[in-house]
Chain A
């Protein structure tokens, strides 16, 4: 954008304020925040105070941490970013749920990719029962429906020694 490039030339960084659903305000450089498509569009519409009604302070703090780190991304620190990402997805499942929902709402594509991959990785090699327990999902099939679902791909559910552990 013309305005942001001219302000960076003069050394003055354009600042934006993000407001969480709990009412906390975070002031950040525009260059960091525009990784988020939803906010980028609001900035283009002239907003500088951006209320995020669907994102609480705890989640927003994590998202800002992610955006700050990824704004530093260059050719030379790929390894560092990779390690950061690895640590970033180590939080509790409840936190990841809030994060992935917020990343979806804010359209931060990189963060959505990272979280969805981490969630998909947790399913690898698990049994249906183990996946339900890991994600705390209650079985909403009737016994008949479940029988039908299992019948469709019987080979994938029977006789195997699945990983029933919950890590």
Chain B
């Protein structure tokens, strides 16, 4: 019986580079340690268009958002907890006591959140004058 986890590294890289859908690439990297070693950002073609995840409206009682993965034919329902990514939706209210709302001019992510959970969200918003907030 052959052992697919023992494929030479350069061959695994060639295979990894041909897994083009983000969701499949994540699965590829979770199979075993040797496959994981090749499922790196460098081996994923970020320039290819990906079907965006559709974020569903927030449920007031929860601090997580649910996503639909359209590329999995509308079947994949995903949970994205804020501890792994999105800030709690109460964040801006907390910084601006007494304000019912803030106006967000610009939101910038330091990295593509679909590829890593290690990124910073910067928001330029207007409350009492213009402000910047980071998470």
Using a CB–CB distance below 8 Å, which chain A residues touch chain B?
Answer: 93-94, 97-98, 100-101, 104, 112-113, 116-117, 119-121, 123-128, 131-132, 135-141, 146, 149-162
**Which residues in B have their C-beta under 8 angstroms from that of A123?**
19, 24, 27-28
Q: Are B11 and A104 closer than 8 Å at their CB atoms? A: yes
| A–B Cβ pairs within 8 angstroms, 14 of them | A97-B4, A104-B8, A119-B18, A120-B15, A124-B19, A128-B27, A131-B31, A136-B3, A137-B3, A138-B32, A139-B32, A157-B27, A159-B66, A159-B79
B31, A128: Cβ atoms closer than 8 Å? yes
Query: What chain A residues lie within 8 Å of B78 (beta carbons)?
Result: 154-156, 158-160
B4 (CB) vs chain A CBs: closest residue: A135
Closest CB in chain A relative to B40 CB, distance in Å = 12
- Complex: A161 Cα to B4 Cα, angstroms: 25
> B2 contacts A97, CB within 8 Å?
yes
15 more CB-based (< 8 A) A-B contacts, given A124-B19, A137-B5, A137-B35: A94-B2, A97-B2, A97-B7, A112-B11, A116-B14, A123-B24, A123-B28, A125-B21, A125-B72, A128-B31, A132-B31, A136-B1, A136-B2, A140-B5, A157-B30
Count of chain A to chain B residue pairs whose CB atoms are closer than 8 Å in the complex: 123
Of the listed residues A98, A112, A149, A160, the one surrounded by the most CB atoms of chain B closer than 10 A to its CB is A160
A116 engages B1 (CB within 8 Å): no
Which 3 pairs between the two chains have the least Cβ-Cβ distance? Answer: A160-B76, A120-B18, A155-B78
Contacting A154 at CB < 8 Å: which of B2, B14, B36, B84?
Answer: B84
Residues of A within 8 A of B27 (CB): 123, 126-128, 131, 156-157
Nearest chain B CB to A151 CB, angstrom units: 7
A152-B32 in contact (CB<8A):
no
Tell me if A116 and B11 are in contact (CB < 8 A): yes
Nearest neighbor of A145 in chain B, beta-carbon distance? B33
The answer to whether A154 touches B81, judged by C-beta atoms less than 8 angstroms apart, is yes
A120: nearest residue on chain B (CB-CB)?
B18
Q: Is B100 an interface residue (CB 8 A)?
A: no
In the bound complex, CA of A155 to CA of B21 (Å):
14
Q: Give bound CA distance, A146 to B36, whole Å.
A: 11
Task: Tell me how far the C-beta of A124 lies from the nearest C-beta in chain B, rounded to whole angstroms.
Answer: 5
Are B76 and A104 within 8 A (Cβ)?
A: no
Q: Which residues of B sit under 8 angstroms from A152, Cβ to Cβ? A: 117
